[in-house]
Amino acid sequence: MARIDFYILPDTTLEARLQFACKLAETIHRKGYRLHLHCENKALAEQADEALWQFREDAYLPHALEDSDMAASVPITLGWQQLPVPTQDTALLNLHPDIPEGVEHYARVAEIINQHQQVLVAKRACWQRYKEMGHEVVPHKLG
């Protein structure tokens, strides 16, 4: 079973959620893991891609959209379709409102909750479903 880390932000905006996703991606990458950011659609993946490019002037997080020719050669991918089959050192950051099919193949999964009503409702349902599936759910209240 996977460990599911829920990061609970005090903010309500998508921008704050994406900014925290970038910080988390940097931490995961620094620890030597591969990372897949799973998004609801291509538009959100492109927003996350742009956020990663602008995250920090003094740092570069090698990443690519899943439909890019570079996707196989970078440690961070952004997708909106079916989850890629993970290697042993791959983490999943789920920005989709639902739990993606295949999540059980990842040892570590991160979910980001902010105080936007749609996100709260969707992620509460995910929290319950993860617990029903037998995963270890760990909350991290930030700010």
pLDDT tens per residue across all 143 residues of the chain: 889 999 999 999 999 999 999 999 999 999 999 999 999 999 999 999 999 999 988 878 999 999 999 999 999 999 999 999 998 899 999 999 999 999 999 989 999 999 999 999 999 999 999 999 999 999 999 98
From CA 42, how far away is CA 51, in angstroms rounded? 14
Find tokens 């993946």 and name the residue: 45
| Percent of residues in the chain assigned helix, strand, coil, to nearest 5 | 35, 25, 40
Find tokens 């020719």 and name the residue: 69
Q: How many domains does the chain have?
A: 1
0.85 exceeded by the pTM? yes
Residue numbers of the domain that contains 103: 3-141
51's enclosing H/E stretch is helix 42-54
- Cβ atoms of 90 and 75 closer than 8 Å: no
From CA 69, how far away is CA 56, in angstroms rounded? 24
Assign residue 92 the CATH number of its domain: 3.40.50.10110
